Amino acid sequence: MKSKTDSEALKHNPEAGSSNKLIGNLLRNPENTIVYVCLFYYLVMAFIAPGFFTVNNSWNILFNLMPLMIVAVGQTFVMLGAGIDLSVTSVVAMASIIGGYLLSDMTALVEPVWLRMVMGLGAMVLAGGLIGFLNGLAVTRLGMPAFMVTLTTMILFSGTAIWLTRSQNLYLLPENFVNLTYSSLLFVPYPLLIGLIVISAAWFLLNKTLFGEWLLASGMNSKTAYLSGVPVSKTLVKAYVLSGCCAAVASILYTARLETGSPVMGQHILLDVIGAVVIGGTSLFGGVGKIHWTVVGAVFMTLLDNSLNLLGLSYFLIMIVKGLVILLAALLNLMQVRKLT
Amino acid sequence: MLLKLQNIRKSFGKVEVLKGISLSLERGQILALIGENGAGKSTLMNLLGGVFTPSDGDMQLNGNAYLPDSPIAAQIKGIAFIHQELNLFPNLSIAENLFINQFPIKKLAGFSLIDRRTMRERAVELLRQVGLQIRPEVKVEELSPAQQQLVEIAKALSAHPQIIIFDEPTTSLSRHEANQLFELVFQLKAKGIAMIYISHNLDDVHLLADRIAVLRDGELVKLDVKEAVDIQGMVKAMVGREMSEFFPARKVLPDTKRLLLVENLTAKGFVTALDFHLNRQEVVGFYGLVGAGRSEMARILYGLDRFDTGNIYLNGRLIQKPNPADSIKNRMAFLTEDRREEGLLLGMDIQKNVQLAALSRFSRGIFRRIDRKRAGGQVSDTVQSAKTRYNSVTGQPVSTLSGGNQQKVVLAKWLLTAPELLILDEPTKGIDIGAKREIYGLINQLVEKGSSVLLISSELEELLGLCDRILVMSQGRITASFTKPMFDRNAILEAALHKQSETLPT
């Protein structure tokens, strides 16, 4: 029986002016809070950071944002399942050298460039998926903590990438591939297009499919989920595979932009990736989170990085600021979870 | 008068679990406290032990107001509580366990050091008092359960208590060990220590107690000297309620077609050689003490735990290796004892909770896209037929619902899967009377529509009111079987305690 209808509920919440409502909304929805914080931060920086509010820098922000956002979206799946994937940096590196090797004119494995592109990009994504699959198996079958598993694979595959290439970069990538960053389809730049496709697919998977529901349930309470017939292990493995694939797609963008396959590609993105997901508001304990929260989180991390650079802060100071911001977000995150349960 | 309780009340949220209890206790007296699970015994003792504070009423100790705000405060005032699960550190020595709260200290160059010699001397003296002849350096993990129990009592004695509360002290003891414990209890009584003794074993109660207090649904229904109450009288006071009002008769009789057949089911250390069956539209109840193996049996049937030998047949088909997903496909459902940890997604709304087990039935196509409209409609129908009270199906986390409504949400989840076999493990644990009644009604409706129910409960009355047959388990075995209407309360209680009394001293 409904003891209170929606209209009754509204009566208890008289509209005491729109400003009150706005603050109420801000407090109630962490997703909205971060949107407003982002807008506010953007406006402030537009005034005080030299060269921030320019066409050139806007492109810069966009190209920095896309790969980060894609990795963070993959990470969101893993964190929704109450795990964490620290190995994304090594996936970016492995995919970058595999792609570099298969695409490069130095090796020129097959003559037609289009075939090389298909092979190279396919192998990159496949490699990411495989590493994710390994992570997922270790976490679900061996029952190891996600943190330990992915820390290990991060070191393992970073090392592998450097060892395989003897720490050399792979140059001479095909023109078509390198131009990916700056060309567009129907006026939409390719990086933005790829980013939009990844977001849409992720949103669909999480919100519309059985997999999404199962993932959220497994992350919220794996015992209840298993007892209710949810294939918890399979679902979590899929989340790690998705994270690996997303990191590999991001690696395509990074590799194209830097025009090299590099074994140390993505070495420094881990803090930004985890930060984006946490700032977005996805629960550190799994089960609560949205794709668009992470997108906003990634926007904020990118704005922060870009603006602090323009303000002339040193690399180390930027690290300190980012660390503090993520710590604050994690605290808010905890308070949110406590309110729920 | 050592201890006096007057009109003690305690509520958790809207549920009143103690409804005005008045009791008194004198020096050297043993008061037995009995009642079914959920009658309020533990709550009352937790008030005395400083775990909770009463909502209303007056407690006096030696004529002074007594209102402990923590277990430590209760201990300082001279009230010791020996819990059913022992609170010892197995990795520490006996002596260390005895003085864990306040180690004897000596000063050396400004540092506080543990005075091992004093500790040892005092430990030896305490162990002598409880008749335990073991060196205090021995680690607790090396002791038998009975010896650990004695260490716990010695620990209680170290604080010079006026009152000791025993909560089911004999559950892990053999008969021989229990008798030794009773001797100690009488020695303590002779020293003038008053005791409150909680037990399901009514023979023990009759042996030990000076006075017997019976609680039922938070009320004191009987308080008398031992001589005036016999065991039948105790049982009647514990369970007596108008049954017909609570348990309306079902409109159908059990079918003769067999749904579940279990042969020689054994899982070492948990259940031994279980043989039983369940017919269509039948309700079979399992009674027994905590730890008798009933929940373990249910978990095995549903596929959460493994078994060693035996056969499980469902609809005549052998179930090889049960697992939850297959069990649901076989139209089984399992409501576990632990609602919060195994039944609910606490941070999610009713919709997400109720649809969970039937989710795959609402998905379509290669992407297994979910038909939200159909899922939403069926969830609201089911939740309403389960008489759940809520503000909104979506957006309101189930953690904000009352215990009874949470349980109805779990039940609705299983109703949505249209089960043929519903296993219910303590379905009314921690739920108020009104919600209990509605859940009983739902069970009856379900059976009338064709399902069968396997009901595990520690409330005998519930089993007597709902079941067609009652099987009693003790120490992993089925020790007795009763068919309606030949239900005999005493015989059922006896069968549940049966094996325990016969265990030989180890």
Which ipTM value was assigned to this complex? 0.83
For tokens 């794709």, what's the residue? A291
In a domain, A84, yes or no: yes
Shortest CA distance to B339 belongs to which of A162, A221, A21? A221
The pTM of the full predicted model, rounded to 2 decimals, is 0.77
| Structural domains present in chain B | 3-240 (3.40.50.300), 241-331+420-432+450-506 (3.40.50.300), 338-418 (no CATH)
For residue B370, the chain A residue with the least C-alpha distance is: A209
CA atoms within 13 A on the CB side of B396: 17
Q: How far apart are CA B475 and CA B146, in angstroms?
A: 18
pLDDT, one tens digit for every residue, chain B (506 residues): 889 998 999 888 777 888 889 999 999 999 999 887 667 888 888 898 888 888 888 899 888 888 888 888 888 888 988 887 778 898 999 999 888 877 888 888 888 888 888 889 889 988 888 888 889 899 988 888 788 888 988 888 888 899 999 988 877 676 677 888 888 899 999 999 999 998 877 778 888 999 999 988 888 888 888 888 887 778 778 766 555 566 778 888 888 899 999 999 999 989 999 999 999 999 999 998 777 899 999 999 999 999 999 999 999 999 988 999 999 999 999 999 888 889 999 989 999 999 999 999 999 888 899 998 999 999 999 988 888 888 888 888 888 887 888 999 999 999 999 999 999 999 987 676 678 888 998 999 999 999 999 999 987 878 988 999 999 998 899 999 999 888 887 788 878 876 544 443 33
In a domain, A45, yes or no: no
Confirm if B25 and B41 have CB atoms less than 8 A apart: no
Q: Provide the number of CB pairs (under 8 Å) joining chain A to chain B.
A: 97
Give B1's contacts (C-beta < 8 A, 6+ positions apart): B24, B25, B26, B60, B63
Give A324's contacts (C-beta < 8 A, 6+ positions apart): none
What is the span of the domain harbouring residue A73? Answer: 65-267
Cα B165 from chain centre: 18
In a domain, A300, yes or no: no
For residue A215, the chain B residue with the least C-alpha distance is: B356
Structural domains counted in chain A? 1
In a domain, A57, yes or no: no
Kindly determine whether residue B391 and residue A9, on different chains, have CB atoms separated by under 8 Å. Answer: yes
Two tokens, residue B194: 């008053």
In a domain, A226, yes or no: yes
For residue A210, the chain B residue with the least C-alpha distance is: B368
Which B-chain residues 343-372 have CB contacts (< 8 A) with chain A?
A: 343-348, 352, 355-357, 359-360, 363, 367-370
Which is it for strands B105-108 and A188-189: parallel, antiparallel or unpaired? unpaired
Considering CB atoms only, which of B302, B329, B356 is closest to A217? B356
In a domain, A81, yes or no: yes
Q: How far is A39 from chain B (nearest CA, A)?
A: 27
Kindly determine whether residue B392 and residue A6, on different chains, have CB atoms separated by under 8 Å. Answer: yes
In a domain, A196, yes or no: yes
Two tokens, residue A50: 């030299």
In a domain, A178, yes or no: yes
